[in-house]
Amino acid sequence: MNRNISKVWLIILTGIIIVVSSVLIIKIMDNNKLKERTTLLEKRVVSLKYNPYLNNIRIEAIDTLRSAGMDFIVYFDRSDCSDCELFDPLFNQYLNEKQISTIYRVDVKDKKMNLNDKEWGEFKKKYGFSQTPAFIYYSGDQINSIVEQEDDKPLNIKMFDKWYSDILE
Predicted local distance difference test score (pLDDT) of residue 137: 93
Contact 102, 67 (CB under 8 A): no
Predicted local distance difference test score (pLDDT) of residue 2: 62
In angstroms, what CA-CA distances link 65 with 60, 74, 113?
9, 11, 25
Predicted local distance difference test score (pLDDT) of residue 112: 83
Contact 136, 87 (CB under 8 A): no
Confidence of residue 162 (pLDDT cuts 50, 70, 90): very high
CA distance 66 to 84: 25
What is the Cα 61 distance to its own chain's centre? 21
DSSP assignment string, 60-121: HHHHHHHHTT-EEEEEEE-TT-HHHHHHHHHHHHHHHHHT---EEEEE-HHHHHHS-HHHHH
Q: Model confidence over 16-47: pLDDT tens digits?
A: 888 777 776 777 666 555 555 544 444 444 44
**Predicted structure pTM score:** 0.69
The most confident of the ranges 8-17, 78-87, 120-129, 150-159 is 120-129
Contact 62, 104 (CB under 8 A): yes
Say yes or no to pLDDT of 66 above 70: yes
Q: Specify the pairing of strand 71-77 against strand 103-107.
A: parallel
What kind and span of H or E run contains 15? helix 2-49
Predicted local distance difference test score (pLDDT) of residue 1: 56
Q: Model confidence over 94-152: pLDDT tens digits?
A: 888 888 778 888 888 888 888 888 999 999 999 999 989 999 999 888 999 999 988 77
Predicted local distance difference test score (pLDDT) of residue 38: 47
Contact 106, 84 (CB under 8 A): no
For residue 69, count CB atoms less than 10 angstroms from its CB and return exposed for 0-12, middle for 13-18, buried for 19 or more. Answer: exposed
Contact 101, 55 (CB under 8 A): yes
Signed CA dihedral, 91, 71, 68, 130: sign only? negative
Residues forming a β-bridge with 75: 105, 135
